Structure 1
Amino acid sequence: MEYLPISEYGVVGNDDRCALVGRNGSIDWCCFPHLEDASVFARLLDADRGGHFAVSPVADFESSHRYLDRTNVLETTFETDDGQARVLDFMPIREHEAPGHGDERFQQALYRRLECERGRVDFGVEFAPRFDYARVDPSFDRMNDGVLACGDTERLGLYADDDVDLEVVADEGRVDGTVTLEADEGCWIGVQYGGREPLASVDRDEALEATKHYWREWLGGRDGSPASMPEHWHEHVVRSELVLKLLIHHETGAIPAAATTSVPEKIGDPRTWDYRYNWIRDAKFTVQALHDTGHREEARHYFEWFSELARRGPDEIQPLYGLHGETDVEEIELEHLSGYRDTGPVRIGNGAAPQFQIDAYGTIVQALYETVQFDEETTITDDEWSAICELVDFVCDNWEKKDAGIWEFRDERRHFLHSKLLCWVALDRGLALATENGFDAPLDRWREGREAIREAIEERGYSDSAGSFVQHFESDEAIDATALLIPIYEFLPPEDERVQSTIDTVCDRLTTEDGLVVRFVDSDIRRDEEEAFGLCSFWLVDALVLSNQLERAREYFENVLECASPLGLYSEKIDPEDGTLLGNFPQAFSHLGLINSVTYLARALDADGEVTPEDFDPDNVETLFRRGDPPEP
């Protein structure tokens, strides 16, 4: 079997889990009982061994897919010579009012509704689960209304209406099925993790309607996004909101970086990582995006997550955590899986967890500061302030140390510009929280530390020869997209000559004609990357808006929108040559960047989304990470 392009997958899910559904009707990635657990379908990572659950016409077909309006319910339409049919895929949302729906296991399921719209369509079914990342082959037991797949300790029930004829092919580890549908006929098929119940007692039609209602109710507002969002970008924002909600863990508020593991950053390159973890560095972008789209409950939940992390103490902070706060996320290579398009290794766990990334402390302080700024109902308790003080003090004592940086270089430590910038942020926002709320703090010590970091960044982080802030203090030529964050964090104003020169250099050396931005070039740490990084491309848009280069910002932004999948989804990276999506998928970072860039553009453009530079006033276009007062000179 050939591997599908990442752009041909849709994602469905609910509070704790996601599944990738190909345009060919095959579910090629799904983990149960939760997103961070072992896969039951992993053909995404090995076409032969991974396992899948496919539903598609037996005859040759053309297919397309879309989401039902303002939902995460995926509709795939198949056309054959004899007819047209559709498959609706969704994971049910908990509805406590309905019998059985209050059981958490109710959500550990995936339903597929087959409907013939005209003519006649013969469907084929292939159900081939492979438990524990395809390390355990199943056995099968027949049930009255389906088949139970059994692993060592796991069970996955396949349910099907009576019209679906199922046959166990035990020696090949799968169940085959067929069903013929005439116009206006339909049937249900689905899987329930843990066995047959509670799916047996669920009305699937009611579950579908309840799930559609849930997504639309959650979006709320003006069909899903605040009125300040320009109409022509509305659908992009809505889809990004729905992606984020899919990824948010309902118990803890944590948000994994993506729903998958080990989709390579470049085909043939071993940069394959497990992204099903919550990275601290995502917090500063997440809080803003949730607030600007009106999802304050999720933002508060996220605040509580980071407030709890802060109370663990500075020495216990690590760059990433499991979705329940787990700290032990040992990285393991699964040698029996070949990887997406035979690009291994396939990894579970993430070896970056024990790294020293000092930018994490600034990220936590920034996220807490942002939440308090935006949400009048959120206040910082004495215990929380004590924890924040410990973080800021830690930065004062340790900002001069080398670290692994935001890009998590595994074998190198440097004085990374971004890390120093976030150290400055930790002290600056710590001072703001103290002075604005009357908290006790060693203000003189923090001010001295902030000034020392400023001097270091300005004296050692800017290269006259490169005309830009550079990746790390030891280099005069390494250009890194993180330098675009300097005006966004209000370290320097956008009109500063060094900021403008940095933006020009990034445009010249990191950016394609279409505005796609790679992470870095001319680094002594790792070779240049050819793939564009989605979030960095949105950072450039934001920096251009702050610089009053509105037409260019809008042009680049709309070019990046063209790089989304047909369903409006982004992975981590984009091949500038052909637009191929690369890296884990869907990527929270990319969708956060989209929302935040729309926020910037909406503040700078008029109500119809027209560019009006003559009316532009930088003081009215606040940075996402508002400091409040102007930065010190």
Structure 2
Amino acid sequence: MTSRDSNRVQSNDEGYKPLEEYGIIGNLETVALVGSDGAIDWCCFPHVESSSIFARILDDQRGGHFTVQPTRSFEAVQEYVDRTNVLQTRFQTVSGQATVTDFMPVPPLAREDQTPMETIFRRVTCEHGQVELRVDFTPRFEYARTTPTFESIQEGAIARGDEEFTVLSSSVPLSVSAQSAGTTVTLEEGDTHWFVLGYGHEPPLESDDHQGILDDVVDYWRDWVHTCSDGDECSVGGPWHRDVVRSALVLKLLINHETGAICAAPTTSLPEDIGGVRNWDYRYNWIRDAAFTVRALTELGHVEEAKDYFDLCLTHCSRGPPSDVNPVYSVYGDPVPDERTLDHLSGYRGSAPVRVGNAAADQHQVDVYGELIHGIYETTRYGKTVDEDDWTAMYDLIDYVCEAWEEPDAGIWEMRTDRQQFVYSKMMCWVALDRGLKIAAETDFDAPTDRWETCRREIKETVLEKGYSETAESFVSAFGDEDRLDATSLLIPLVGFLPADDSRVQSTIDAILDRLLVDGGLVMRYEGDDGLPGEEGAFLLCSFWLVSALAQSGRVDEAEAIFEDTRQHVSPLGLLSEEVDSEEGIQLGNVPQAFSHIGLINGALALSTESDSGLNPDEADAKPPAENGARRDTQGSAASDCTTRSQAGSETQ
């Protein structure tokens, strides 16, 4: 099991690295996964939803990669430059030590410096002794369907595909073959070389300019990141402060700077079941993220990101008839591509099929109406104002819930079985009406309040009658269930559907502790058949829901114990995937997962306030967000932001 106290991660079978061995860099449009062996094994250009140019994480033979690593056996430690998304991989060999520093330019710096966004910078520096490094530049376009042609240029090499190209600028000469470009270079103490990848452009090789861009990128992240001065009250003070800050930095990388949309994860088809078929494309924006994102951002001082998400929610509200609202969109608001399989790729550790696109976009999920309106309402609690145009966009959607709430749907877990009457979906319809009524009361905008209040009451009475099982002494997954539990029931007190001290809420929490909680603070999503073969891991977000529900119930000691157990599954670099294998303790699913990091932040906020998860407007008032000052210290990151790898040269590549 990976833990924050044991940062050595062993290699896995078939040449694939454990997911815990990856860090990420990005430019607020796309994200690259960088392994602790110095290999970029996943990157899509120009956007996170584009096809990949490196995909070795999905096929270790043909996927493509960009590797910088010693030619001899080495130990490697990865860490982020303190309070940034600049990643360093430090290699130690018998002869010396060298560090690879990886980063991408971010707006507005890229525009000011005239540096295209589609650029990856890799600086290699020898700290002491002598280190021989190999550089292997092996892009494969269109999800490794296309092997490019390679040719030498004056300061590097160019790889050309059918309709795209990449250029690797290098401060040392590169050799070119039919399959790749690369070199071997010996660094002496004090030597520095730059390898700069440009997608669709040729980056200039001016090392002084590159160092200036690096300095600006470090300053950008430190200006943005949550900080709290000594002695100031912090909304997430305590032993988990570093994890919360890292989670916020991860979320920022997943937020598109133009649209404010959050992609659920920057990867596709990393399996929930090793060797199985539970492999999905998460590079899109799920509406339901809004309900859990706003407080996580605003409490850490990132108000602009929360307001951008407010505007995005309004855009979804006004797209057309409410019945046409989809649960998921591209980060640019376009329809998600049809789901298809890439049968030429073997999948991570043989987990096929590899999928791109997502069929969930065509599902009927009525919970999204509540999540949209709740996301807007949460933002108003932090200072955003709803005007008449905003209300016009929201009105029809809220009113539509009065018709749609009785419909069966695919639910939050996007079941690929017949539609059901999911309790969570009904509850979120109640939330849509409840928050709509609150906004109408606070603004005096016209609304059919009698109709909405009547429907809100009807939904609640129906859920209490059909959604709670006396047999299970718990809320259940769907109407008609007698004994099938679902972790979404933990949200009942968090959204204010029932108070935390209600006996039905407490018995539900106890049932989930008894039946869905497994070892290490891990919580399964639900019981019963979901129509797919194989078994998935424990869902990390559910663990944080349990923490928040316990904290809001006043059961703080239990909440802290589960939170601490769950934190043990954070990778050495502070990253979380979607799930964890409860037996092996390894991360599963797409990584990093926005939902998991949002859950961690909100769980920490719940513990910090001891009673408030931040989703229930009737339980607590919103607090002013923390100031977001910048400290310019340059000390390295703590052990909680690093990961170590032992590697014998290039034998496992």
TM-score bucket of the superposed structures, by smaller chain: over 0.9
How far 1:93 sits from its partner (Å)?
2.2
CA contact 1:168–1:174 (8 Å) conserved in 2: yes
Counterparts of 1:589 and 1:259 in 2: how far apart (Å)? 12
Does residue 187 of structure 2 align to residue 181 of structure 1? yes
How far 1:411 sits from its partner (Å)?
2.6
TM-score, normalised with respect to structure 1: 0.93
Runs of 4 or more consecutive aligned structure 1 residues displaced over 2 Å after TM superposition: 93-96, 100-103, 197-202, 223-226, 522-530, 626-630
Q: How does 1:132-531 map to 2 (within 5 A)?
A: 132-161=142-171, 164-170=172-178, 173-197=179-203, 203-222=209-228, 227-313=234-320, 314-375=322-383, 378-523=384-529, 529=535, 531=537
Q: Which residue identity lines up with residue 618 of structure 2 in the other structure?
A: G
Superposed CA deviations along residues 164-193 of structure 1, whole A, max 9, x for unmatched, are 3421121xx111211111112111112001
Which residue number in structure 2 is paired with residue 627 of structure 1?
617
Counterparts of 1:424 and 1:26 in 2: how far apart (Å)? 48
Q: Which has the higher contact order (CA 8 A, sep 6+)?
A: 2
CA contact 1:402–1:415 (8 Å) conserved in 2: yes
How far 1:383 sits from its partner (Å)?
2.0
Does residue 135 of structure 2 align to residue 128 of structure 1? no
CA contact 1:321–1:329 (8 Å) conserved in 2: no
CA contact 2:416–2:531 (8 Å) conserved in 1: no
Counterparts of 2:388 and 2:205 in 1: how far apart (Å)? 47
Give the stretch that moved more between structures: 399-408 or 193-202: 193-202
How far 1:628 sits from its partner (Å)?
3.3
Instruction: Note the residue ranges of structure 1 that are not aligned, 5 or more in a row.
Output: 605-620
Which residue number in structure 2 is paired with residue 577 of structure 1?
583
Does residue 63 of structure 2 align to residue 53 of structure 1? no
Which residue number in structure 2 is paired with residue 72 of structure 1?
85
Counterparts of 1:576 and 1:416 in 2: how far apart (Å)? 26
How far 1:354 sits from its partner (Å)?
1.1
Secondary structure (helix, strand or coil) at the match of 2:239 reads helix
Superposed CA deviations along residues 289-324 of structure 1, whole A, max 9, x for unmatched, are 111111001111111111111111302200000011
How far 1:231 sits from its partner (Å)?
3.5
CA contact 1:574–1:580 (8 Å) conserved in 2: yes
Q: Which residue identity lines up with residue 310 of structure 2 in the other structure?
A: F
Counterparts of 1:102 and 1:76 in 2: how far apart (Å)? 26
CA contact 1:277–1:322 (8 Å) conserved in 2: yes
**2:43 pairs with one of 25, 30, 40:** 30
Task: From the superposition, tell whether residues 476 and 174 of structure 1 become closer, same or farther in structure 2 (CA, over 3 Å).
Answer: same
Secondary structure (helix, strand or coil) at the match of 2:521 reads coil
CA contact 1:158–1:189 (8 Å) conserved in 2: yes
Q: Which residue identity lines up with residue 256 of structure 1 in the other structure?
A: C
Secondary structure (helix, strand or coil) at the match of 2:15 reads coil
CA contact 1:521–1:527 (8 Å) conserved in 2: no
Does residue 127 of structure 2 align to residue 117 of structure 1? yes
Counterparts of 1:579 and 1:524 in 2: how far apart (Å)? 23
- Alignment coverage as a number of residue pairs: 605
Give the stretch that moved more between structures: 51-60 or 286-295: 286-295
CA contact 1:477–1:522 (8 Å) conserved in 2: no
Secondary structure (helix, strand or coil) at the match of 1:544 reads helix
Q: How does 1:95-110 map to 2 (within 5 A)?
A: 95-96=108-109, 101=112, 103=114, 106-110=116-120
Counterparts of 1:573 and 1:277 in 2: how far apart (Å)? 18
CA contact 1:93–1:210 (8 Å) conserved in 2: no
Give the stretch that moved more between structures: 526-535 or 238-247: 526-535
Which residue number in structure 1 is paired with residue 648 of structure 2?
none
Task: From the superposition, tell whether residues 553 and 106 of structure 1 become closer, same or farther in structure 2 (CA, over 3 Å).
Answer: same
CA contact 1:471–1:523 (8 Å) conserved in 2: no
Secondary structure (helix, strand or coil) at the match of 1:77 reads strand
Q: Which residue identity lines up with residue 130 of structure 1 in the other structure?
A: R
Secondary structure (helix, strand or coil) at the match of 1:66 reads strand
Counterparts of 2:534 and 2:422 in 1: how far apart (Å)? 17
CA contact 2:519–2:582 (8 Å) conserved in 1: no
| Percent of aligned positions that are identical | 49
Q: Which residue identity lines up with residue 153 of structure 1 in the other structure?
A: E
Counterparts of 1:77 and 1:201 in 2: how far apart (Å)? 20
Which residue number in structure 2 is paired with residue 607 of structure 1?
none
Which residue number in structure 2 is paired with residue 89 of structure 1?
102
Task: From the superposition, tell whether residues 479 and 526 of structure 1 become closer, same or farther in structure 2 (CA, over 3 Å).
Answer: farther
CA contact 1:65–1:75 (8 Å) conserved in 2: yes
Counterparts of 2:70 and 2:534 in 1: how far apart (Å)? 45
Q: Which residue identity lines up with residue 372 of structure 2 in the other structure?
A: I
Task: From the superposition, tell whether residues 585 and 213 of structure 1 become closer, same or farther in structure 2 (CA, over 3 Å).
Answer: same
Counterparts of 1:27 and 1:134 in 2: how far apart (Å)? 14
Which residue number in structure 1 is paired with residue 11 of structure 2?
none
Counterparts of 1:452 and 1:202 in 2: how far apart (Å)? 67
Counterparts of 1:521 and 1:548 in 2: how far apart (Å)? 27
Secondary structure (helix, strand or coil) at the match of 2:520 reads coil
Which residue number in structure 2 is paired with residue 617 of structure 1?
none
Secondary structure (helix, strand or coil) at the match of 1:188 reads strand
How far 1:228 sits from its partner (Å)?
2.4
How far 1:410 sits from its partner (Å)?
1.8
CA contact 1:6–1:581 (8 Å) conserved in 2: yes
Q: Which residue identity lines up with residue 335 of structure 2 in the other structure?
A: T
Counterparts of 1:485 and 1:196 in 2: how far apart (Å)? 50
How far 1:629 sits from its partner (Å)?
7.4
Q: Which residue identity lines up with residue 85 of structure 1 in the other structure?
A: A
How far 1:202 sits from its partner (Å)?
7.7
Q: Which residue identity lines up with residue 125 of structure 1 in the other structure?
A: V
Task: From the superposition, tell whether residues 223 and 320 of structure 1 become closer, same or farther in structure 2 (CA, over 3 Å).
Answer: farther
Q: Which residue identity lines up with residue 137 of structure 1 in the other structure?
A: T
